[in-house]
Amino acid sequence: MVRTIVERTRLGDDDVVREPGRRLTERQLALRDQLVDLVLAEGFLHLTVDDMAGRLGCSKRTLYALADSKEQLAVAAVRQFFRRSTVAVEAAIVRTRTPARRLTRYLEAVAEALRPTSRAFHADVAAFPPAREVYEANTQAAAARVRELIEEGVAAGAFRTVPGDFVAEVVTATMFRITGGEVGLATGLTDAEAYTELARLVLAAVRR
């Protein structure tokens, strides 16, 4: 089953992606992806629906077919970002068999997924509780996935036996510090760079 970084959902070629109570057309799906790209690059709190429509070259009515308000549009964009990121992250490790490489590649793929996100995006997510809840839930799911990968490595004899709960707690806390901006402020690293360093650190801790 494909895992989203935050929500565990299966997206296949025949799946219809839905917002609650909505069936989106191909054009609307494409527009939503464009909205995601806009939000990642510029954030969303300063944008009005007029701004969004102007940047995307569509009408406000077209946007309101995706969600009922600016706030709901923002949350839908954050959710869709994590949906497509999850698919990309899991695809990055699907053919990787070596436990060490699966672990590092997973976190590297998370870093790659976060690379398009701007500081404005992270600041707005932190300031807007509904979007922050989506981000935090995805961070928790990613940390749980790291724990699974570590446990797979231990079972295969590639990693030393480590307390999975402790490692997962450390990884989760670090991920929250990364997504909350504390690591960036303290180190000057981008979120993507911080995830890359986290991958190296976790591997060094569990490798035999």
From first to last of its 208 residues, the chain has per-residue pLDDT tens of 334 444 433 333 333 334 445 577 889 999 999 999 999 999 999 999 999 999 999 999 999 999 999 999 999 999 999 999 999 999 999 999 899 999 989 988 988 898 888 889 989 999 999 999 999 899 889 888 988 999 899 999 999 888 877 887 888 889 888 877 889 889 999 887 888 899 889 888 888 7
- Which residues lie across from 157 on neighbouring strands? none
The model carries a pTM of: 0.80
CA R_g for the chain: 18
Residue 157's CATH number: 1.10.357
Return the pLDDT at 17.
38
Tell me, yes or no, whether 85 lies in a domain.
yes
* Tokens at 54, concatenated: 């102007």
pLDDT of residue 42: 95
Report whether 34 contacts 73 (CB < 8 A).
Answer: no
Report pLDDT for 119.
85
Query: Would residue 29 count as lying in a domain?
Result: no
Question: Within a domain: residue 142?
Answer: yes
In which domain, by residue range, is 169 found?
A: 79-206
Q: Would you say residue 139 lies in a domain? A: yes
CA distance 202 to 170: 9
Q: Helix, strand, or coil here: 159?
A: strand
Within a domain: residue 104? yes
In a domain? residue 1: no
* Phi-psi sector, 24: left (phi>0), alpha (psi -120 to 50), beta: beta
Residue 83 and residue 77 in contact, taking contact as beta carbons nearer than 8 Å: no
**What is d(CA 162, CA 42) in angstroms, rounded to the nearest whole number?**
41
The closest alpha carbon to 179, from 42, 74, 52, 78, belongs to: 78
Residue-level pLDDT at 22: 56
Q: Is residue 119 part of a domain?
A: yes
Inside any domain, residue 162: yes
Q: What pLDDT is recorded for position 128?
A: 96
Overall domain count for the chain: 1
- pLDDT, residue 176, reads 82
Residue 123, Cβ neighbours under 10 Å: how many?
Answer: 13
